[in-house]
């Protein structure tokens, strides 16, 4: 792992955060749009009203899940940055030992310090891995939330078909909802790939 890789994850995380936030705002707006449409049509669209309400509630849950995602990103990056820093220390000690004419004999303290840093790095890598696993679990939760949202969109399409006679543009609303959910699903999927590559990189190195 190098700094470039970590910076790549930071960028991916930022982009994913932007994209998810925007898509979730979009989902929320579309849910509200559907609710406004339902309200304007009175009891005729009561069935779709339930769907729109569920869609908005799910969107709120997704928003909360996404915020948990963001909470874990900073500690993960921090952990990796610290690992990089400490690896640099270990490397420095290694260089000092290599450059010394009494290599391996004259500076037992130096060797001990290097060994301590190595242990610290292992501990930090374990912590980072733990955070990464938590993060992947959070992403998994988010993806499950998106799947539920997709299920609600499907229900919405059925309700829209049933209420077609009312003349309300519910099919279009459902399609918009579906698109918003697809956008957020795609953003999360690409983010997950980034995290998984990071995990793979970490475990390979380990």
Place of tokens 């699903």: 185
Nearest to 194 by CA among 132, 125, 147: 132
Count of residues engaged in binding another protein, rule: CB under 8 A: 18
The span from the CA of 177 to the CA of 155, in Å, is 12
* Upper half-sphere CA count for residue 56 (Cβ side, 13 Å): 14
Number of other residues whose CB lies within 10 A of the CB of residue 152: 24
Place of tokens 């983010």: 191
- Closest to another protein by CB, 55 or 80: 55
Judged by CB under 8 A, which stretch of 23-31, 71-79, 100-108, 130-138 contacts another protein? 23-31
The span from the CA of 44 to the CA of 48, in Å, is 9
45 lies in the site for another protein, by CB under 8 A: yes
Q: Which of 19, 67, 166, 202 binds another protein (CB under 8 A)?
A: 166
Residue 22 beta carbon to another protein: minimum distance, rounded to whole angstroms: 9
171 lies in the site for another protein, by CB under 8 A: no
Would you give the binding string for another protein spanning residues 54-73, x where CB under 8 A is met? --x-----------------
Residues at the contact surface with another protein, assessed by CB under 8 A: 25-26, 29, 32-33, 35-37, 39-45, 56, 166, 168
């Amino acid at each position: 792992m190098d700094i470039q890789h970590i910076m790549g994850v930071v960028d991916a995380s930022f982009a994913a955060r932007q994209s998810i936030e925007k898509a979730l705002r979009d989902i929320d707006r579309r849910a509200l749009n559907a609710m406004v449409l339902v309200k304007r049509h009175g009891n005729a669209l009561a069935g779709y009203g339930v769907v729109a309400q569920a869609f908005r509630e799910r969107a709120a849950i997704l928003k909360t899940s996404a915020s948990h995602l963001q909470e874990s990103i900073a500690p993960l990056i921090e952990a990796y940055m610290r690992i990089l820093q400490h690896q640099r220390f270990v490397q420095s000690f290694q260089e000092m030992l290599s450059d010394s004419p009494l290599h391996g004999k004259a500076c037992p303290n130096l060797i001990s310090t290097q060994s301590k840093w190595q242990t610290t790095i292992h501990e930090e890598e374990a912590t980072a891995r733990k955070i990464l696993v938590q993060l992947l679990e959070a992403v998994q939760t988010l993806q499950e939330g998106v799947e539920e949202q997709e299920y609600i969109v499907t229900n919405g399409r059925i309700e829209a078909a049933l209420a077609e006679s009312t003349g309300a543009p519910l099919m279009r609303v459902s399609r918009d909802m579906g698109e918003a959910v697809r956008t957020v699903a795609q953003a999360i999927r690409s983010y997950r790939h980034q995290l998984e590559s990071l995990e793979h990189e970490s475990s390979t190195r380990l």
